[in-house]
Amino acid sequence: MGADLNTKGTFDAVISLIDDYSKKKGLKSEAYLFNAKILKLESEEGRISNYVNAETNGLNIRLCDKKRVSFSYCLGFEEQKIITALENAYSLLKFMDENEYFDFAEKDESITDSNMPEKLGIYSGDWGDIDINTKKSLLAEMEETAYSYDKKIYKVDKPSYSETLISKRFYNSNGVDLSSKKTFYEIFLSVASRDGEDTGSGFDFDFSHSFGELKFKKAAMNAAKKGVDQLGAKTVPSGNYNIIFDNYTSSELLGLLKQSFYADSIYKKKSLLEGKLDKKVFSDKLDIIDDGLLHGGALTDIFDREGVKMQKKILCSSGVVKSYLYDIEYAKRAGSKSTGNSVSRSFTMPPDIGSTNFFIKNGESNILDMLGSLKEGLFINELMGLHMAKPYTGEFSLGASGFYIKNGKIDFPVKGIVLSGNLMQLFNGIVKIADDIRYFGSTGSPSILFENVQVSGK
């Protein structure tokens, strides 16, 4: 179906085929189409060690017969593949249970996709304009910068660069027909350090929707500094400490709370926030936002996976839970409206509820002033074992490393400790929030000072 898989004509032809099929069967239909161009580079010892230049495309389909809905997908836009996917979806319908809450999105005249990607900061016109040799040179320079930071850096592990151009089209039988496009650039670097028998490691990355905003040298310096700063680390006595989690580890902790805001988790009673709407459950210093329209955000877009307009939602204001995250189905179950939070967790799976750009609002404290305020405490910049935390109960027990703070100054690096507690209690114990928000993918947070955190050490 056409030579240029990224053209409007190709998408039009695919949609026409799906629309004709569903109308002949007397069904409602929904289709999500994408085309992605991907470039990946890895460097080793100043030379490119891995190079990938690929293009992929595909679609997933939902068919609806009254209140029964089925799902199918295919990679590629060949006509026979699309027909096979449609036949698969059709054959599944008779096995599906009726769902009175299911529906496709209605057309929203307020959604205008003309020039919106540029306005939202998710598409850059520099795509394809940057010479490949420039990218190779910057990647090699990133590796060299890390090595030159300190002689204790003995290994830079294949610094990588990737870029993606993705074009999307969404259609359903209710007249919704939307398009979007994104450019995405990312760099990553990890290092290993050594001083005698003592070893350490560090990493950093950067991402942007514009190539020109990537900070190659800064990422290399940050990774190298983390690796060197870890050398000489030791443990601390067990006890309760006031702890500053940097913006990276604070983002990781926030990520453990995401699922509790999902309306399906609320409905299935698998959320810490069930029955907590309009109740104060966190520190009054805490504001949590999910913003699908955040300028330049990793998951910013015009519409969600169901064709609903992206929105900004205040989820928690001064510690009070103000909203949950809904797709169409669970909004209907709750007597609410979709918040534009339908996502595709996997191309091979039906849409699900998920967050967009999920973050803690910036505070007013300078991070250096925050450190200076600690008579004794810890500064944590790495957590381990997050996959073992229990979002349903809020309980966590995490390995950690960072620094011991004494009289407002870093005394020595710390490793070999375990932090334990409950997320609800932790986010109730906020003392200060810094003004240094950083986004790690789609999750962002400033550094946060928590009081009275349990530490197991020596």
**Would you give per-residue pLDDT tens digits along the chain (458 residues)?**
433 444 578 899 999 999 999 999 999 999 999 999 999 999 988 888 999 999 999 999 999 998 999 999 999 999 999 999 999 999 999 999 999 999 999 999 888 766 689 999 999 988 888 899 999 999 999 999 999 999 999 999 989 999 999 999 999 999 999 999 999 999 999 999 999 999 999 999 999 999 999 999 999 999 999 999 999 999 999 999 999 999 999 999 999 999 999 999 999 999 999 999 999 999 999 999 999 999 999 999 999 999 999 999 999 999 999 999 999 999 999 999 999 999 998 888 999 999 999 999 999 999 999 999 999 999 999 999 988 888 888 999 999 999 999 999 999 999 999 999 999 999 999 999 999 999 999 999 999 999 999 999 98
How many domains does the chain divide into? 2
- The alpha carbon torsion through 16, 18, 21, 24 (nearest 10 deg) reads -70
Terminal-to-terminal C-alpha distance of the chain: 66
Strand arrangement, sheet containing 288-291: 320-321, 312-317, 288-291, 358-360, 443-445, 438-440
Same domain for 251 and 385, yes or no, is yes
**Containing domain of residue 192, as a range?**
8-223
1 occurs within a structural domain: no
Same domain for 292 and 422, yes or no, is yes
Tokens 């026409």 map to which residue? 16
d(CA 39, CA 133): 13
381 occurs within a structural domain: yes
Determine how many CB atoms are found less than 10 A away from the CB of residue 175.
11
228 occurs within a structural domain: no
DSSP 309: B
CATH of the domain at 107: 3.30.2290.10
Boundary of a domain, candidates 223, 241, 265:
223
- For 100, the token pair is 């009175």
Bridge partner residues of 204 (DSSP): 189
Element (H, E) at 216: helix 216-229
Same domain for 66 and 107, yes or no, is yes
The answer to whether the CB of 250 falls within 8 A of the CB of 448 is yes
The answer to whether the CB of 326 falls within 8 A of the CB of 382 is no
3 occurs within a structural domain: no
- For 299, the token pair is 């998951």
Boundary of a domain, candidates 223, 245, 268:
223
Is 17 exposed, middle or buried, given 0-12, 13-18 or 19+ CB atoms closer than 10 A?
Answer: middle
42 occurs within a structural domain: yes
395 occurs within a structural domain: yes
- For 160, the token pair is 């990588």
Question: Using alpha carbons only, what angle is made at residue 355 by residues 308 and 320, rounded to the nearest 5 degrees?
Answer: 105
